[in-house]
Each structure stands twice: as structure tokens, then as C-alpha cells.
Structure 1
């Protein structure tokens, strides 16, 4: 399953040349992860962050083509693997048929002390259901 998240490129995302300043893509990646957790996992960050968090442990990104102010991007989140406390995912951004960037990331579920801890069962089940080819 792929989770789709529309993102219009706004002025705040751009450098003086009018193209997306690359750190802003990382904000967009976080936005799609936050929306995925709220809509699919049913664990909105504003609720989860009262007792836990999901910081990024690793991220890799390839910038394929520039995006410009006013472009309409479709960010697509795909689940790769669920570990005991980790979740590997991919985010690909398209403008129409044009692939703009590709990222792979690992986030980790941590408790209020910042220590990795096992996913709660309801969250694990929701994450596992969204892995491509998984009929769980």
C-alpha cells in the first residue's frame, strides 16, 4: 500500500532561485510521516508525543529534479519493514509523472526517556498491514 500526500511547493520552501531548498524536503518527509501516523496508524503525533516519539535514526535521499514554487507534488510513502522498535519506509515525490526525489528512512519508537521500545500492538499491526505484499 502506498500512502499519498499532496504538497504544493510554497514560497517558504524555496531559495532565492525559486527552487526547493533541499532541507525543506526533509520537512515535507516529516509531514507525510506525521499524516501517515494520524490517518493510517491512528496514532496522531499530538497524542503519541505525550508519552513517546518516533525520531529519525537514518535517512538517505536522492534529489532527481528540482521543484519550483507553485509545483504540486504527490509524496508517496511506502512501508518497507517493521522491526521491534523500528520502521523502515520510503518516500518518493512526483510532480505529475516526473520523479523529483526519493528517500529511505528509518524511524524508531522511543519511550518518554528516549529509549527504543517495542511498538504497541495496535501500532505494529497497522504498520505491518501497510507493507507491500503483506496480507496481514
Structure 2
């Protein structure tokens, strides 16, 4: 697979864990949302504040499928990787991988959709589409 990979790092916090000291599974979805938000604010050049508050558009999740591979524990340093599996007219397929010290902990696919003021899907704006395109996975 080629294409740019967006990566970020985050330490597992106490609030992320259950009583056994491992990441409580719904917290992974919150973490993924944070990665998507950072991807938009970083290389895509438009923060969620800009999208939601200024432009009155959003990128809600339409689908997500996850696989929990190994537990993550309090104070683990996690590395998040995001790539684009498909860029549609109004949708965007994302692939997420979370690792710790080279060990895969979690992976997911997610579909986000560009939604306008009407709360209906709309085509990606050309500038945003152009900034997403380099992250699309292509066969090696």
C-alpha cells in the first residue's frame, strides 16, 4: 500500500481505562475521533471548529467496523495511523491502526460523510478533496 499515512501518538490515560487498568473499548472510538479531528486540523487544513461552527458542515461517521487485537494498558504509548481506503463523492473510507511498541492493538475501518447545512450528504469541496487525495491507499 502506498499513499500518505497520518500518524499521531497518545499516552493511555487513567480516564481511558476500566477497573482492570486496560482501555475500556468505547474509549478507542473517542480516540479515533480525536485522530480524525487532528488530521483535519493538520494536513487537511480545516479544523473541526472551522467546519462545524464557521461553515456549519460536518463529517459524521456513517459506519465503523473494529477489531480488538490486544489490550492496551494505563500509560502505554500508542501510535495511531490513518489512511484513506476510498474517496467517494460525499464519503471517505478510513483505515485506522493503533500500535504500541510495534504490537498491533486495534484496527478499524470507518466511513465519514461530508454533510452540509441541509444535514444531507454533499460532494467534498474541491480543496478538501485535493488535500485528502494524497492519503488514498493505492496498490503497491
Query: For the superposition of Structure 1 and Structure 2, which TM-score range results when normalised by the shorter chain?
Result: over 0.9
Write out the 4+ residue segments of structure 1 that deviate beyond 2 Å after TM superposition.
none
Q: What is the total number of aligned residue pairs between the two structures?
A: 134
Partner of 1:53: 58
Show the 5 A alignment for 1:1-136: 1-50=4-53, 51-133=56-138
In the alignment, the residues of structure 1 paired with residue 138 and residue 45 of structure 2 have an alpha-carbon distance, to the nearest angstrom, of 21
Tell me the CA shift for residue 133 of structure 1.
3.6
Q: Deviations over 1:32-75 (max 9, x none)?
A: 00000110111110000121000000000000000000000000
* TM-score for both structures, normalised by structure 2: 0.93
3-state SS of the aligned residue for 1:42? coil
When you count strand as a share of all residues, which structure comes out higher? 1
Larger RCO: 1 or 2 (CA < 8 Å, sep 6+) = 2
* TM-score for both structures, normalised by structure 1: 0.95
In the alignment, the residues of structure 2 paired with residue 34 and residue 114 of structure 1 have an alpha-carbon distance, to the nearest angstrom, of 19
Tell me the CA shift for residue 113 of structure 1.
2.5
Q: Deviations over 1:64-105 (max 9, x none)?
A: 000000000000001111101000010000001100000000
